[in-house]
Structure 1
Amino acid sequence: MNSDRERTPIPVVSCVGRSNSGKTTVLEHLIAELRRRRHRIAVVKHYHRSDVEFDVPGKDSWRFAQTGAEQVILAAQDRVIHIRRCEQAPTLAEVVGEIRDVDLILVEGYKGAAVPKIEVNRRARDPELVCVGDEMLIAVVSDQCFDLDVPQFDLADAAGLADLVEAHYLGERQRR
């Protein structure tokens, strides 16, 4: 990374929509397309419950966390897993502040955050959008059309969505 990019905040784009609307699938395809274009991507998944576990009960790292360690970092040959205990749910800004060395941060959820949003909608789930009137809405991905002044994409159009994200948030200078 050059020094200019280190000082430039990493762009953040959130994928929002109702439960089971296809947000994860849209993000999977968008990530694959952006990776194909050689961009480095981080993903933040907003989870509304507090019972999430990423560790294996009985393993050393799990035991350290159960004993009360505030942070446990598991360092392997091909990845680092960092688990940090929180007294309250972190804001998106706090989570994003911990991310380094990527070109773009994609978020699933955090509908109320003041970041650009792509709404995923399926007619069978809900005929209405959840982000109507949200100035941060930059695109809709759906199996239906809406009377809006933002680009709209079919659920299967990962390349078109990647073109939009690349043009607005990545640009040619960040392509590897």
Structure 2
Amino acid sequence: MAHSIGLAGYSNSGKTTLLSGLVVEMKRRGHRIAVMKHDAHGHYKEAVGADSTAFVDAGADAVITLSPDAVHVYERKNAPSLDEQLLAYRHLDYIFIEGFKREKHPKIAVYRTIEQSCIISEVVPAPIAIATDLAVQEAEGSYPQFNLNDIAGIADFIEQYFKDCQF
């Protein structure tokens, strides 16, 4: 069963940059990784001009593109469930989740500004760690804290977290 962990933060907080670095580091360590991103506003679009986009635009319920080294799936679903998708990729080692700040998986709160730091109190359940490039405030002292650029340290923390939890 894959270990699921999320990065929660506001736009421009550093989530995508941190997540991209974690994917590289965890792959370097030999792990199989999936990434799931929350598109809360429905902005995702297929690539303009691609055949698969034409099929989506035509109303296909599912479009599956098979390449020599990849499968891309587009499927229309009413209210898709994160849990359902996590089950579909349980054969991997880790599933990194960007967004979904109120779902039940463990999360690292990510922020770059004092204003964004309120994400700590909005994450449900409470975050298991903080990643920021700011000096951490005293009130945040109860969480393990990492610099956003400490990719190896955050990867070490994630691996140890799941070892300690005996998942």
Q: TM-score range by the shorter chain?
A: 0.7 to 0.9
Give 1 or 2: higher helix fraction: 2
For residues 100 and 10 of structure 1, what CA distance do their matches in structure 2 show? 5
**2:148 counterpart (137, 150, 155):** 155
Q: Which residue of 2 aligns with 1:174?
A: none
Return the offset for 1:35: 1.2
| 4+ residue segments displaced more than 3 Å | 133-136
CA 1:132–1:66: 2 relative to 1, 3 Å: closer
For residues 144 and 136 of structure 2, what CA distance do their matches in structure 1 show? 10
For residues 54 and 127 of structure 1, what CA distance do their matches in structure 2 show? 30
Q: How do 1:92-131 residues align onto structure 2 when only pairs under 5 Å count? A: 92-123=82-113, 126=115, 128-131=117-120
Residue pair 2:33, 2:93 contacting (<8 A) in 1 also: yes
CA 1:135–1:50: 2 relative to 1, 3 Å: closer
Give the aligned CA root-mean-square deviation in angstroms: 2.1
Return the offset for 1:50: 2.4
Gaps of 5+ in 1: 1-8, 172-176
Q: How many residues align?
A: 160
Gaps of 5+ in 2: none
TM-score, with normalisation over the residues of structure 1?
Answer: 0.81
For residues 145 and 105 of structure 1, what CA distance do their matches in structure 2 show? 27
Q: How do 1:138-153 residues align onto structure 2 when only pairs under 5 Å count? A: 138-142=128-132, 143-146=134-137, 147=139, 148-153=141-146
Residue pair 2:10, 2:116 contacting (<8 A) in 1 also: no
Return the offset for 1:56: 3.8
For residues 129 and 73 of structure 1, what CA distance do their matches in structure 2 show? 40
